[in-house]
Structure formats: structure tokens, C-alpha cells
Amino acid sequence: MIPPFQHVGLIGKFASGELGEILATLADFFRGRGAHVYLDLATAELLNSPIEGCEVVDRETLGERCDVAVVVGGDGTLLNAARSLVDHHVPLIGVNTGRLGFLVDISPERMLDKLEEIMDGRAVTDERLLLQATTWRDEVVIGRCVAFNDAVVHKAGDPRMLEFELRIDGHFVNRQRADGVILATPTGSTAYALSCGGPILQPGQESLVLTPICPHTLSQRPVVIPARGKVEVVISEQGHGNAQITCDGQIAMTLNGGDRVVIEPYARRICLIHPEDYDYYAVLRAKLGWG
């Protein structure tokens, strides 16, 4: 059962009249249910006018005060919210105004009915894995990022392939030449990894998928590893081209030859809340055009 939410955060993307209208409708709904409503500061700055009855706070304060956050936008908006709120144990509800909607699964037209169900305790929850990518240079940590979908080591601004060494749980796997390599969570298995030929993993599966990007040797195939696995990618000292580590396609850092990227499960998980009729396979049918 979902407990009654007394403190609700609203997060949105896209500066349009539709966003303001949806947020205002959501604020009225939750206030009508006796909840205190907080509006994300970055979201408020996108709007032409304030949302009545909302307290505007930064993302950190929203995480500290809220029982739940409703994310209005596309999957990228929810990815950003998940990374910023996972340490606060704030569950997320997604309202889709984007293009795809694997993660933000409630349509604006049905959101009040679906939120009524959720507030009445008729809902489905699922815990999702995240990743942490740590970059080492000369045995010093120079960067760390969290990813909900995937962590990708890839070439950047250079036509040459990357050359890198791959290890899983300390075991040498191989030395590859490719455009890069993706480590995806089950959530991210339907994102970049899927377009590179990777398998689809069910969200609740305790696995990760390692998928090469345009490998030079066609025998390089996607590999599914346990969720507790630790992957190391070491960039070759020579002939590496320009390399980057990118998390969720939103956070990027330049890599040099000899840099080592360690990617492993993040210590905490994010909870997504869906209406009670949520069906993952129905989402796949709709988004992938299955018959």
C-alpha cells in the first residue's frame, strides 16, 4: 500500500504553457488532498508565472522535505530527478509530456484519475538499480557520477576507434577496439544499449548488460552480468583518440590514455510508483511497435 503523501514535490521540463497548466492542475489536486506542495526551483524558473499555493525550493530541499516527487516531462527529466533524489529515498511518479515515455508512464489526459488511484493506495511500486562510475587517473579519483540508465565510455569528436581493456570483477575479459562500450541497468536496457543490439532486461532483474558500440571485431557481443558486478574500462595509452565517460547522456567527462573507469551498482535504489494497471509489456508493445 502507498501511504498518504503529505509533502509532494513537483519537477518539470520544457518551457511551455502546457507545463504551467499541468503543474497548476497537479498543485490544486494535491492541495485538495491536504498535501503541502513544493515546486522545484529550476522548474519555477522555466515558467512565465508562479504556481499558486506552491513553495518554491531548490532540489536538495525538495528531497529533504518530500514524501514523493511528481515528474512532468520526458524520460530525460525523470533520469535527472532520479539521480538528484535517490539519496533522499524520494519515490517518483512520471507524467509524460515528452516523446518516448518508457519511465514517465502517465498521460496528462489521465493523470488525475491515476493519481487518485495512487493516493488511495492502488498502485504498483518497483525498485530500480542505478550505477556509479568512478574515474581514476594515476590512482587518484578525478570524477564520479551516478547513472540511472547507463554509463558509457565512448569516443568523442574523433573518427578513430577507441582501444581499451575490459575487466569484470577483476577478471581480464579482453582488449577491444570499438566506438565505445555501454554498461546499462535493466532500466537502461531499452535505451542506448538496445540501439546497439543489446537485450531487453526486465526492470526487476538483478542483472546488468555490457554492450559494445560498433566493435572492430564482430565477435564482440553483449554480455549480461550479475547486478553486483564491477566493470573496469582502461583507456589505452596509445591510439585511444578522444574519449569520454557519459552518464545517462547528461553528464560527461573527458578521459586520457591510461585513465581507468570503474562502474558498479550504486549503494541506493530509486523507487518508481505506477498506477495499479501498469504493465511493463504493454509499455514495450506501445513504445517498440510490437504487434
Answer yes or no: 248 catalytic: no
DSSP strand pairing (140-147 vs 207-213): unpaired
Structural element, H or E, at residue 168: strand 162-168
Q: Cβ contacts of residue 45 below 8 Å, gap of 6+?
A: none
225 in Cβ contact with 198 (< 8 Å): no
Tell the residue number behind the cell numbers 510508483, with chain if given: 273
- Which residue do the cell numbers 590514455 mark? 257
Give the residue ranges of DSSP H helices in 4-93. Answer: 17-32, 41-44, 59-65, 75-85
Q: Kindly tell me the burial class for residue 14, based on how many C-beta atoms sit within 10 Å of its own C-beta (0-12, 13-18, 19 or more).
A: middle
C-alpha cell read off for 75: 524520460
H or E segment at 73? Answer: strand 68-73
Q: Which of 75, 105, 179, 259 is catalytic?
A: 75
Q: Which residues are catalytic?
A: 75
